[in-house]
Structure 1
Amino acid sequence: MVRLGNLERAIMEALWQHPDGVFAHDLAAGLPSQPATTTVLTVLVRLSTKGLVTRERVGRAHLYRAAVEKDAVVAEAMRAALEEAGDVEAAVQRFVGTVTPKVAAALREALEARDGGQP
């Protein structure tokens, strides 16, 4: 998966909030930056090429939906960031030092589940 630019991220956030789909003109009108519909269409085509968005013809327009769940995109971004770290152990240590107890517990549970319940 690839990194997302600011407008791509904003569009994906809007699509995740509308799982039944949304039209490009409605997306453009709902974004804080109020980009032109043609700009949103260009970005939607790019996101579709990346496999992140699907579209369905409805009349003369297309209804756009997220093709992947938000947690999958976030997990991939986290994996890619760690892959770019020169010292993965140091990066993980710094990250763990900044997380809330809730996030620390989720990390612990995920690692234990991956390791078959072994602490």
Structure 2
Amino acid sequence: MVAYRSQQRGRGDLEQQVFAALAAGGRPMTTGEVRDAIGADLAYTTVMTVLARMQAKGLATRDRVGRSYAYTAVVDDAAVTAHQIHRLLDARGDRAAILTRFASGLSPEESRLLVDLLGADSEAGPA
């Protein structure tokens, strides 16, 4: 079984690790199975809380299995990462400074891709 652990987790890292374990499992997984896949250093209740929050955000579904729930990932890893970027932007004060720093670190190819994506988004009009 693959372990999805790190020595020191940053904010949002645990949610990504839980998501990765669900996605790699390829089937509905109980809280205990997810915890085992991530690493036994986590409390069962910690993993249960993360799974419940992911379900509330629409990132996972859950089905009753006996007295517990089995969870399934419903979005891909890119969507989870994008969600976390939005959360970080919401939590910080100066979006322009953060986005400027981010954009300055992009490669020329990534910059072109971002410009193309933004152009396609603006051509589509408001949602």
Structure 2 partner of 1:52: 59
Residues in 2 aligned to 1:54 and 1:28: alpha-carbon distance in whole angstroms: 17
Structure 1 partner of 2:47: 40
Which of residues 80, 89, 114 is equivalent to 1:107?
A: 114
Structure 2 partner of 1:13: 20
Is the partner of 1:47 in helix, strand or coil?
Answer: helix
Unpaired segments ≥5 residues, structure 1: none
Residues in 1 aligned to 2:41 and 2:55: alpha-carbon distance in whole angstroms: 21
Which of residues 26, 30, 36 is equivalent to 1:29?
A: 36
Distance 1:61 1:79, change over 3 A: closer
Deviation by residue 1:75-98 (Cα, 9 ceiling, x = unmatched): 23333444534261x433321111
Residues in 2 aligned to 1:5 and 1:93: alpha-carbon distance in whole angstroms: 22
Structure 2 partner of 1:86: 94
Residues in 1 aligned to 2:53 and 2:86: alpha-carbon distance in whole angstroms: 22
CA contact (8 A) 2:62 2:71 kept: yes
Unpaired segments ≥5 residues, structure 2: 1-10
TM-score (norm 1): 0.67
Residues in 1 aligned to 2:106 and 2:34: alpha-carbon distance in whole angstroms: 33
Is the partner of 1:35 in helix, strand or coil?
Answer: coil
Structure 2 partner of 1:97: 104
Distance 1:78 1:36, change over 3 A: closer
Residues in 1 aligned to 2:95 and 2:43: alpha-carbon distance in whole angstroms: 42
How many aligned residue pairs are there? Answer: 113
Give the CA RMSD over aligned residues. Answer: 3.0
Structure 1 partner of 2:81: 74
Aligned-residue identity in percent: 32
Q: CA deviation at 1:61?
A: 4.2
TM-score (norm 2): 0.64
Deviation by residue 1:97-117 (Cα, 9 ceiling, x = unmatched): 112334223212211211329
